[in-house]
Structures are given as structure tokens and as C-alpha cells.
Chain A
């Protein structure tokens, strides 16, 4: 059948698709074109920017003193989040699968999803109360009472505490939810393997290290690799809400940096350049990770 004939036959279908394609052109492809502002001066008269300036704003970012610590924070915070969230989710999934009382299992699992469903605004709001420097704040008061410290720790204000703090919160928020996939993977393992291992005298830990972990290893590697693809997405919310002038050197990441310079200080072209840099590097990383997953695990996202 010729293309034209097929198009004619599917004309209703294609007509219905038109508004959706227009939507995407405006709301998704529009900003992609708009990101060319990174190569132009900003101008109020022309919608997508004025005079072309080439790589001026990219160079300005790479040469600025901010570049090194913003990149460091972004990579460190998301790597810590990825590693610890993955480990925690696997351990939690294994523990959940070893519970024999179905009711208990269900309740713990349900409760563990809870933090996933609330926004970072709320998490940050709670964290500010719990980790407050006030001697009467929940954590500091307990630590003082147990004589583990003699004066309150400034968890939120001290730059050195920022990475552990945000990593703990990332793990807390995601562990239950991330474990779902691992639990599904563990549940699909053949039960006979465990039975024969028991016959051979393998204890619980031996069963976990020799059967469970190897069986879910492909899932772990796949999810971890894709996590690497998103390494520049350290997350805007948690950094923005927990950030303050005192911990800035450890809490500024690409997303907060774009927001701050690009919008609040109206350096539009500069902000667009940093944003475009992040998008392009992010896309390249995802394509590379996908290539490796396709190549070695025979599965991928595209």
C-alpha cells in the first residue's frame, strides 16, 4: 500500500495526533530551541535572544570559580545518594522477603513507602525541626541526654554535615519505594534453589550471598547503570530547601545554581548555558549507559 493511501486511510487518526504534536512542539521543543539563548545575548525585544555571542557564556561558566565546586557537589551528592539508596533498597528488599508473617510483611512494606509520597518541602520542613541546633530539638536533645555530645551539633548550618544529611534524607525518602523492584526480582527466584541449598546445609546468610544476590545482580547492575546516567540530577528540591549561606559551598548544585544566577539574578544567557551544558552531558551519559546495558545485559531503555 502506498504511503499516501495509508495516510488517507488513517486520516482521522493522524488528525487526532496533530494537537498532541503541536503541544509537544510548543512545550517541549520550544524550550529546546529557546536554550539557544545560551549562545546569544538576552534581549527584551526579540523572544529568543539577540546578538549571537558563540561560547561566551559557556566559557564564563567553565572559567568561573564556581564551576569546580558546583560540579563537585552535584556529582558527590548524587553518587552518594545512588550508592547508599541502592544498598539500602537491596538490604531492605532481602529483609522483607525473609519475613514469614504475611501481615507483618505487608504493614512494614506499606509504611516504608510513606516518605515517597510526600514532597521535599515537607521532608525539609521536618528535617529542620528534627535536626535543629536548638538544645531541645529532637535529635540534639537525645544526643545531649545520652552524653554523646556536650553541645548541640549544627547539622543544618555546618557545611561538613550537609552531604551526610542530604544523603540520609535521600535514603530515608526512597528506600521503601526503590526496594519494590528488588522485591519483585527476589520473589521470582525459584524456591527449589533455596530448598536444595538447605539440604546441602547452607544457612540463611549463605543462601542470601549464594542465591539471592547473584539472582538479582542483573537488576542491580541495570538500575545502577541508569542511575549513573542521571548523575547530574542531584535534585533541585532537597538542595534548595536545606541550603543556607553557611553550607553553600557543599550544597550548591547545578540546578540550584541555574535557578539562582539564571533567574533570581536575571543572568538569563548564563543560566541557559549552564542548563544546556547539563542537558547535553546528561543525554550523552544516558546514551552511553544505555549502550553498555544493551551490549552486556541485552536490555536497555531504547
Chain B
């Protein structure tokens, strides 16, 4: 079909605006990345936009020399791996059990789980519970309380329910146990939804800061990278609202500034995600649309 002049103009303007939006979404990351590779004192002169002015890896060297930061990186990795494995296993088993249409008291049991998505006890009682269960200052606080996300369970249950029921039926007739049926029949057909849920849990584990902030305050040992960032953030905050602070820092002499350390830490926490999500986005989007169709 012929394109009119007006349409051509529309497409051009639209494409340009989208370019601008894409730039706004991506540029802050690029800027942080670039500044993290610049010498700290020099970076305070500002106006670094697209490329480091005085290239330096001092900030990264400082981070990896400081054993506590390196340790936090290990904690972050450990909780992400372990948390994802535990989360996916628990979610899959529960979703499978709930997907059985014959299940006795099914409506009541579903209600029991779903209601917790819309009503919670709140921050204070949760804090008390964690303390009373001795999960406070305990690595397991990263793994156990979040082991089951009801939303994820419902997404996976939906997927299982849409599989042909005759498959599980025939496995059962052949004498396979419930867990055996799940492992050998259901799971091999469910890789898309498993990938989606694993990614959701993994990203949440990697990016959460709340449990570190709330439940491991007495133990430096357990701080995650996000926890470290929260701390840096709170410490450097005053600087961004008070001009006299920046000047004082400038006189202090060190080429490393808290600002570049912050940039480098942000870069370290962000790069893994930026690297994986473009390749796995169909799984993320898959989870979103499944959830949206039947919440």
C-alpha cells in the first residue's frame, strides 16, 4: 500500500521519540558504568557523559581488596543459587499437588493459600516471628521464609492444569507415585514455566535488600551486595542534598571517593542482570502474561 506524506512523518517522529525513550532508559546505566571506571577525584569535576576521562580501576581494586565486600558478593551468589533451587522445588511440588482437579476440599485448600496474597500480618509481626524462630542473623532467613511464593505457585498450577490430564492419569495407573509422576511426566513438559519461575525467584533473590536490612543487622558476615549498597547509599545521601559536604570531600586528598565506590558497587550488582535478561526475556514475559490471563 502507498504511504502518504502524513504517515511518513508519523513514522519518523514515532521512531525518533522511541529512540529518545530508549536512551532515557539505558543512559543512566551507561553513565554509572563509565564513572565507575574513572578516577574518583577527577570524577568529582563532573561532566563525564559517555566515556571515562581518566581511566582507573581503583574503585574495583578497592572493592575486591576489601574482604567484606568480596564476602558479600559470595553471600549474594549463595543465596541466589540456593534460594532459587529451594524455591523452584517447593513451588513445583505445591503447584502440582494443587493442580489435581480431583483433590478433596480443593476450593477450601486453594482459598487457604490464595488469601495470603491479599492479606498479611504486616511488618512488625513478621519481624517478631523471624526473631522468635531464631532466623534473625541466620543465613536461612534468606531461604526459608520466601521458599513459597503463592503467586508463583498459582502461575505454575495454571500451567499444569492446562496439560492433558490423561498423561498423569496413565502414569498413576502404571503405579507411579505422586512425586515420580511429577518428576518423570509433568516436569519434562514444563520447561518454559520452570524457567520463568526460576528467573523470577533468581532475580528477586539477587535484587532484594529488605531481609538483609531487617534481619541481619547484627551480623556483618551475612550482608549481601544489596545490603552493602543500602549502607553506602545512606552514608552518601547527605552529600547530594548539601553542597558543603562535597567541597569538604574534595579537600580530603584521596583519589578514591565514596561516589565511585558506590558506582562500582552498583555496576557489580547490575551487570549480571543486564547480561542475562535480554536473552531470557521471553520467559519473564511468559510468566507475566500467564499470570495476567488467569490471576
Neighbouring A residues of B21 by C-beta, 8 Å = 92, 95, 108, 112, 175
Distance A227 CA – B6 CA, assembled complex (angstroms): 37
Pick 9 A–B contacts, CB within 8 A, sort by A: A13-B100, A16-B179, A26-B133, A33-B121, A100-B11, A181-B288, A236-B210, A244-B237, A258-B124
* Contact indicator A136/B125 (Cβ below 8 Å): no
Q: Which of A66-74, A76-84, A209-217, A271-279 forms part of the interface with chain B? A: A271-279
In the complex, B39 has a CB within 8 A of chain A: no
Per-position binary interface string of chain B over residues 245-285, scored 1 when its CB falls under 8 Å from any chain A CB and 0 otherwise: 01000000000000100110010011001100110010011
Query: Contacts A134-B240, A134-B243, A244-B241 hold; do A126 and B266 have CB atoms under 8 A apart?
Result: yes
Per-position binary interface string of chain B over residues 99-133, scored 1 when its CB falls under 8 Å from any chain A CB and 0 otherwise: 01011100001001110101111111111110011
Distance A181 CA – B118 CA, assembled complex (angstroms): 22
**Sample of 6 further A-B pairs with CB below 8 A, known A23-B148, A180-B289, A255-B123:** A24-B113, A95-B14, A114-B26, A129-B240, A172-B25, A263-B214
Q: Which of A126, A138, A181, A278 contacts B289 (CB 8 A)?
A: A181
Neighbouring B residues of A259 by C-beta, 8 Å = 123
Neighbouring A residues of B100 by C-beta, 8 Å = 13
* Contact indicator A118/B10 (Cβ below 8 Å): no
Q: Which of A99, A117, A124, A275 contacts B123 (CB 8 A)?
A: A275
In the complex, A50 has a CB within 8 A of chain B: no
Neighbouring A residues of B144 by C-beta, 8 Å = 27
Residue of A nearest to B6 (CB): A203
Q: Which of B27-35, B61-69, B187-195 forms part of the interface with chain A? A: B27-35
Query: Contacts A37-B125, A37-B128 hold; do A128 and B233 have CB atoms under 8 A apart?
Result: yes
In the complex, A224 has a CB within 8 A of chain B: no
In the complex, A10 has a CB within 8 A of chain B: yes
Per-position binary interface string of chain A over residues 245-289, scored 1 when its CB falls under 8 Å from any chain B CB and 0 otherwise: 010000000010011001100001001100110110011001000
In the complex, B47 has a CB within 8 A of chain A: yes
* Contact indicator A125/B18 (Cβ below 8 Å): no
Distance A92 CA – B19 CA, assembled complex (angstroms): 12
* Contact indicator B230/A180 (Cβ below 8 Å): no
The main secondary structure of chain A at its interface with chain B is helix
Distance A246 CA – B273 CA, assembled complex (angstroms): 34
- Which A positions have Cβ atoms within 8 angstroms of B? 3, 6-7, 10, 12-14, 16-17, 20-21, 23-24, 26-35, 37, 47, 92, 95-96, 98-100, 104, 107-108, 110-115, 117-119, 121-122, 124-126, 128-138, 141, 152, 154, 156-157, 172, 175-177, 180-181, 184, 198, 203-205, 236-237, 241, 244, 246, 255, 258-259, 262-263, 268, 271-272, 275-276, 278-279, 282-283, 286, 301-302
Closest Cβ of chain B: how far from A185's Cβ, in Å?
A: 10
Neighbouring B residues of A172 by C-beta, 8 Å = 24-25
Per-position binary interface string of chain B over residues 64-97, scored 1 when its CB falls under 8 Å from any chain A CB and 0 otherwise: 0000000000000000000000000010011001
In the complex, B209 has a CB within 8 A of chain A: yes
Give 9 nearest A-B pairs by CB, closest first.
A31-B121, A136-B46, A275-B122, A34-B125, A157-B241, A132-B240, A31-B125, A119-B207, A28-B116
Closest Cβ of chain B: how far from A193's Cβ, in Å?
A: 15
Q: Which of A21, A34, A92 contacts B129 (CB 8 A)?
A: A34
Neighbouring B residues of A16 by C-beta, 8 Å = 93, 97, 178-179
* Contact indicator A133/B25 (Cβ below 8 Å): no
Query: Contacts A10-B104, A134-B246, A271-B124 hold; do A301 and B295 have CB atoms under 8 A apart?
Result: yes
Closest Cβ of chain A: how far from B136's Cβ, in Å?
A: 12
* Contact indicator B120/A30 (Cβ below 8 Å): no
Neighbouring B residues of A21 by C-beta, 8 Å = 109, 112
Neighbouring A residues of B46 by C-beta, 8 Å = 134-138, 141
Please indicate which of the listed interface residues A32, A117, A141, A154 has the most CB atoms of chain B within 10 Å of its own CB: A117
In the complex, B171 has a CB within 8 A of chain A: no
* Contact indicator B124/A268 (Cβ below 8 Å): yes
Distance A262 CA – B128 CA, assembled complex (angstroms): 11
Please indicate which of the listed interface residues A10, A119, A272 has the most CB atoms of chain B within 10 Å of its own CB: A119
Neighbouring B residues of A275 by C-beta, 8 Å = 121-125
In the complex, B170 has a CB within 8 A of chain A: no
* Contact indicator B109/A258 (Cβ below 8 Å): no
Neighbouring B residues of A141 by C-beta, 8 Å = 46-47
Q: Which of A118, A268, A301 contacts B207 (CB 8 A)?
A: A118
Neighbouring B residues of A111 by C-beta, 8 Å = 22, 25-26
Closest Cβ of chain B: how far from A33's Cβ, in Å?
A: 7
Residue of A nearest to B229 (CB): A121
Neighbouring A residues of B118 by C-beta, 8 Å = 282-283, 286
Neighbouring B residues of A47 by C-beta, 8 Å = 128, 132
Query: Contacts A3-B104, A118-B207, A118-B273 hold; do A126 and B25 have CB atoms under 8 A apart?
Result: no
Closest Cβ of chain A: how far from B84's Cβ, in Å?
A: 15
* Contact indicator B121/A95 (Cβ below 8 Å): no
* Contact indicator B229/A122 (Cβ below 8 Å): yes
Closest Cβ of chain A: how far from B119's Cβ, in Å?
A: 5
Per-position binary interface string of chain B over residues 42-53, scored 1 when its CB falls under 8 Å from any chain A CB and 0 otherwise: 001111010000
Per-position binary interface string of chain B over residues 5-18, scored 1 when its CB falls under 8 Å from any chain A CB and 0 otherwise: 01100110011011
* Contact indicator B94/A117 (Cβ below 8 Å): no
In the complex, B145 has a CB within 8 A of chain A: yes
In the complex, B185 has a CB within 8 A of chain A: no
Per-position binary interface string of chain B over residues 131-162, scored 1 when its CB falls under 8 Å from any chain A CB and 0 otherwise: 01100000000001101100000000000000
Neighbouring A residues of B178 by C-beta, 8 Å = 12-13, 16
